[in-house]
């Protein structure tokens, strides 16, 4: 697995772009820190609008990136940056069964814009998810692709501020263990189940103290 990449059971924080300093991965400020800061709130809205504009094209871009990699063993040419930088998860599912076939992403952007981030995570999901064999060209027709763009993290003080249909969750402890679960996942209908699963993913025992963060996401699928 590549450094800094996390795998997840299905696919949706910190926008990493110097002009949006409060999302920079070196100086993380959570959502409450920008509430009431009108310029920051405006920049946040502008970022979300830009992602919403480019978002519907991301699943096709992810498919093209995987196809190009499988044929050429190199990155799909994209040209210059389009849109803001943002962290992304790319999920692959079997069309017939909706079973997961791969999902990779990160909690902070590594590329200059969301299109390049999508290309990167698509190839990782297809080739480097340790739970699955690398995808082959013959698999492509049977795979559906979903791209989830993450919104900023928000620190919360308890599970009463979670809603698995709206928010993803990050749990972490003092030993450095961390688990991430995206929002609106099939079969996760209540907070208790959401926290049980994300704790298990992190290797944190039930009842052990954890820090909680939540996040929203913009999800784009193939039609």
Strand order in the sheet with 178-181: 154-156, 211-215, 168-172, 178-181
Give residue 148's pLDDT. 94
Q: Across-strand partners of 103?
A: 91
Give residue 151's pLDDT. 86
Give residue 5's pLDDT. 37
H or E stretch at 117: helix 114-127
The answer to whether the pTM exceeds 0.85 is: no
User: Which DSSP string corresponds to 130-198?
Assistant: TTSPPP-GGGGGGEEEEEEEEPPPEEESSGGG--TTT-EEEEE-TTS-EEEE-SS-TT--SHHHHHHHH
Residue 223 C-alpha from the chain's centroid: 20
Could you tell me if 151 and 48 are in contact, meaning their C-beta atoms sit under 8 angstroms apart? yes
Give residue 43's pLDDT. 63
H or E stretch at 191: helix 191-202
DSSP state of 217: E
User: Which DSSP string corresponds to 55-66?
Assistant: GGGHHHHHHHHH
Q: Rounded to an integer, what distance in angstroms lies between the CA atom of residue 209 and that of residue 202? A: 13
pLDDT digits (tens, 9 = 90+) for 102-149: 999 988 899 999 999 999 999 999 999 999 999 999 999 999 999 999
Q: Rounded to an integer, what distance in angstroms lies between the CA atom of residue 13 and that of residue 26? A: 13
**Helix, strand, coil distribution of the chain in percent, nearest 5:** 35, 20, 45
**Domains of the chain, first to last:** 6-221 (3.30.700.20)
Q: Rounded to an integer, what distance in angstroms lies between the CA atom of residue 87 and that of residue 116? A: 10
Instruction: Return the residue matching tokens 């996390």.
Output: 6
Main-chain phi, psi angles of 31, to 5 degrees: -50, -45
Give residue 49's pLDDT. 76
Give residue 46's pLDDT. 67
DSSP state of 151: P
184 Cβ neighbours under 8 A, 6+ residues apart: 12, 164, 165, 166, 219
Give residue 51's pLDDT. 85
Mean pLDDT by 10 residues, the chain (223 residues): 34 27 31 46 68 92 98 94 87 95 92 95 97 96 96 91 95 96 93 97 95 93 89
Q: Which two tokens stand for residue 106?
A: 């990160």
Q: Rounded to an integer, what distance in angstroms lies between the CA atom of residue 69 and that of residue 75? A: 6
């Amino acid at each position: 697995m590549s450094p800094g990449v996390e795998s997840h059971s299905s696919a949706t924080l910190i926008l990493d772009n110097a002009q949006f300093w409060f999302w920079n991965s070196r100086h993380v400020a959570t959502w409450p820190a920008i509430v009431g800061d009108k310029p920051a709130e405006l920049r946040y809205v502008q970022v979300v609008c830009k992602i919403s504009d480019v978002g519907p094209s991301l699943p096709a871009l992810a498919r093209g990136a995987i196809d190009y990699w499988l044929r050429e063993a190199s990155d799909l040419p994209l040209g210059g940056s389009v849109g803001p930088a943002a962290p992304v998860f790319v999920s692959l599912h079997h069309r017939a069964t909706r079973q997961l076939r791969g999902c990779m992403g990160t909690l902070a952007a590594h590329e200059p814009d969301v299109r390049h981030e999508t290309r990167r995570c698509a190839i990782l999901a297809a080739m480097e998810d340790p739970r699955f064999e690398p995808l082959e060209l013959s698999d492509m027709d049977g795979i559906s692709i979903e791209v989830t763009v993450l919104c900023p993290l928000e620190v919360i003080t308890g599970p009463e501020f979670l809603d698995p249909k709206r928010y993803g969750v990050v749990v972490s402890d003092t030993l450095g263990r961390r688990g991430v679960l995206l929002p609106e996942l099939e079969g996760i209908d209540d907070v208790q189940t959401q926290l049980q699963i994300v704790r298990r993913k992190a290797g944190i025992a039930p009842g052990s103290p954890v820090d909680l963060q939540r996040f929203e996401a913009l999800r784009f699928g193939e039609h």
